[in-house]
Homo-oligomer: A and B are copies of this chain.
Amino acid sequence: MGMKIVGKGVQRLDAVAKVTGRARYSEDFFERDMLVGKVLRSPHAHAKVLRVDASRARALPGVEAVLVPGDPSWRPFGTAGHPWSLDPHHRDAQDRQILTDKARFVGDAVAAVVAVDLLTAQKALGLIDVEYEVLPFVLTPEEAMAEGAPLIHEGRDRNVLSDFGVGFGDLEAEFAKADRVFEGHFETSVVQHCHIENHNAFAFVDTDGRIVINSSTQIPHIVRRVVAQALDLPWGRVQVIKPFIGGGFGAKQDVVVEPLVAAMTLAVGGRPVRYALTREEVFIDSRTRHAFKMDLRTAVSKNGELKAIGIRLLSNSGAYASHGHSIAMAGGGNFRSLYKLDAVKFEPRTVTTNLPVAGAMRGYGSPQVFFALESHLEDIARALRLDPTELRLKNLIGVGYTDPLTGITVRSMGVPECIEKGKALIRWDEKRKANAQQTGDLRRGVGMACFSYASGTFPFSQEISGARVVMNQDGSITLQVGATEIGQGSDTAFAQMAAEILGIRFDMVHVVSSQDTDVTPFDPGSYASRQTSICGVAVRKAALEARDRVLAIASRKCGLDPAELDIQDCLIVEKALGREICTLEEVAMDSYYDRLHADPIRADVSANVRNSAIAYGATFVEVEVDLLTGKVEVLELYNIHDSGRIINPKLAEGQVHGGVSMALGAALLEQLLVDPATGRTLNNNLLDYKLPTILDTPKINAAFVETCDAGGSFGAKALGECPVISPGPAIRNAVLDATGVAFDKLPLYPQAVFEKFREAGVLGAEALAR
């Protein structure tokens, strides 16, 4: 059936609101008489809080409350935005307290002030006297695992959060019989999400004693649960509202500010308290991307068939668990849906250190693992003298492949087409030939990398989503979705789906963009690229249910069986004859006002999606490397995606632009720098942290290979996170193509590149003399 609205690049619903400033974010709801909360943070990377004396702060006029560690009503809690599990073994580590009596990183919250204004609050922080017992600290997994390392969390027997791994096949047997075995070591750095809107929230106690929190979060229903757990309240006593939010990227898939702001309002009798992190605070006390260190070992046949892969991985989790081991696990799981292998052994280890806390970030471990894997495969291809694309094509799994560990079956797979398209776009063969002839200080190279990425979290977590449709008297609908719009454009995609099914114009769908746990259908939130494909299932189900009710009423009016009827362009038509029966508006009016049958058309559905559609794609890139300065410039970049059916090409392209831009930062510039002597973050601001600006960003080209996957709504698959995965290794491989130097660590910033070139003897003049 031809689609009228799905597949069209309609303008996003909030476009005008956002460019005109009419969109209201959490801070826009701050009111002038709200109290202000601020936090006192540890200057030590590891220290016991022996005593907090708040008497001077409490005596300061304008200070309404000072909160200190040890409130007996507080409970340890986990911050990860994961769905709750009925299985206690499947829950996140509950290792946080609202305020801590032991600082585990520089910036850990040890006290908080609620005051009438920001200046008073800040002044009061300076009047809180904390006595610390300073402890030795560790910043790397190796230090943390060393004999005699200080134990960061009491009650655990080591600083390893988990070393649970997975695998199948007989790895060692495969290596024993392999033609060739390759090894590689790769590392990534700590990076930050840098969403424009910092974490912020306000809270108050509502008229019936419940805590209401308005927060910039991706996961309102999970925030509700975690706040209740942290404060030991029944979950129903907390209400969370999510207004427009200015980016999340995973850092708001964690419960960062809400338990504390809830505790703050309770400390002042329920009066409204606002609590907004500064950019500096976001850098150190929200979440970062885990730095991974990875050792890969691969068995390959002489003609380039991959046989077995073993990956050992160290994930630096920072001071608290947050998403914990699941990021390493997820990052190390996706490639199994890309390459055919007889044996896989994945041995990850997530280690607690005294760094700022790592958590979810767009790609969720995959950018790191695919950096290693796709760099490693490049090295293998070069060793075997295979074109890199040929090596990939040779080893792809096919449609129908079922992962032996997850049971997920691949139902669509467009990588060959992505590669074909990417090669054509960048003129792969032509450029590779030309690059072989280069001389001079500026060297060009092309590189590519592939990835696979699961939609949603099934079977690791529950994938439930909710939607509610109410048809108004004019035939337009109001659509409530549990899934959260966080800038990715999901509301628009949902509206397209609902309009398509209900035969109405796109502008007849009003999406309630703000989630409110009181009235929004249940859904864990926005993460894991689950919105369009997973939450779309609920939207589709609700729209179909509403459509059934429309047709039932129309059938009552005209006597024809509902199966003979359809809704087209706001008209009820007899399908066989294409004849108009009545208007949709007439049906809607009947549903409200028929004396006998009035029963407004609506659907309030929940979908428990027990499936995952695998998305794919590849990056093709050309770089120019300055052998004298180490500067890597991206000349051309194509991200080609198989994300199933593209619901909205314009928004899909936007996702690719954003994701690639983030990947470029991580590949070339960004890393959070920590002083090894103190554990203090050195570049906790947007001046010193080298986020690429638009001047640093090349033209980013997006292309799509449209498959239609039976696993997602309307055939859609994951897209939001995908673009961030393969640019890093593609750039690294292009640099290798340009210079012959195989980098093993991101970012490829000039200083690191320069040093490596010097080491490799390709620096400037030496290179010319080669």
Contacts and interface: CB of A to CB of B under 8 A. Distances in A.
Interface of A: 13-14, 16-17, 22-23, 32, 83-86, 206-210, 225, 234-237, 270, 462, 464, 466, 468, 470, 472-478, 480, 508, 510-513, 518-519, 521-522, 589-590, 592-600, 602, 604, 606, 608, 610
Contacts of A608: 596-599
Nearest to A269: B20
Given A13-B208, A16-B207, A592-B84, A474 B602 contact: no
Contact of A590 (B86, B589, B593): B86
Contact of A478 (B236, B473, B606): B236
Contacts of A592: 84, 464, 522
Main secondary structure of the interface of A (DSSP, over half): loop
Nearest to A592: B522
Nearest to A511: B208
Contact of A510 (B16, B208, B270): B208
B522 A518 contact: no
Contacts of A208: 13-14, 17, 510-511
Given A207-B23, A519-B512, A593-B86, A472 B235 contact: yes
B589 A519 contact: no
Nearest to A513: B207
A510 B236 contact: yes
A86 B519 contact: no
Nearest to A607: B599
Contact of A476 (B14, B84, B234, B610): B234
B594 A86 contact: yes
A208 B511 CA distance: 9
Contact of A604 (B86, B270, B518, B602): B602
Contacts of A594: 86
Contacts of A472: 234-236
Nearest to A604: B604
Closest CB pairs A-B (n = 8): A17-B207, A236-B476, A236-B472, A234-B474, A604-B604, A235-B473, A598-B608, A522-B600
B480 A519 contact: yes
B14 A207 contact: yes
A13, A85, A236, A466 — most chain B CB neighbours (10 Å): A236
Given A86-B595, A235-B472, 9 more contacts: A16-B207, A234-B508, A236-B473, A236-B475, A236-B476, A468-B604, A480-B519, A512-B518, A602-B604
A228 to B, nearest CB: 8
Contacts of A476: 234, 236-237
B593 A462 contact: yes
A468 B16 CA distance: 33
A518 B477 CA distance: 9
B519 A235 contact: no
B474 A508 contact: no
A238 to B, nearest CB: 9
A208, A237, A518, A598 — most chain B CB neighbours (10 Å): A208
A23 to B, nearest CB: 6
A35 to B, nearest CB: 15
Contacts of A478: 236, 518-519
Contacts of A210: 510
22 contacts: A13-B207, A17-B207, A17-B208, A22-B206, A23-B207, A85-B593, A86-B590, A86-B593, A86-B594, A225-B473, A234-B472, A234-B474, A236-B477, A237-B476, A462-B593, A468-B519, A468-B604, A522-B600, A595-B610, A596-B610, A599-B608, A602-B604
Nearest to A474: B234
Contacts of A464: 592, 598
A580 B266 CA distance: 35
Contacts of A589: 86
A599 B511 CA distance: 22
A236 to B, nearest CB: 3
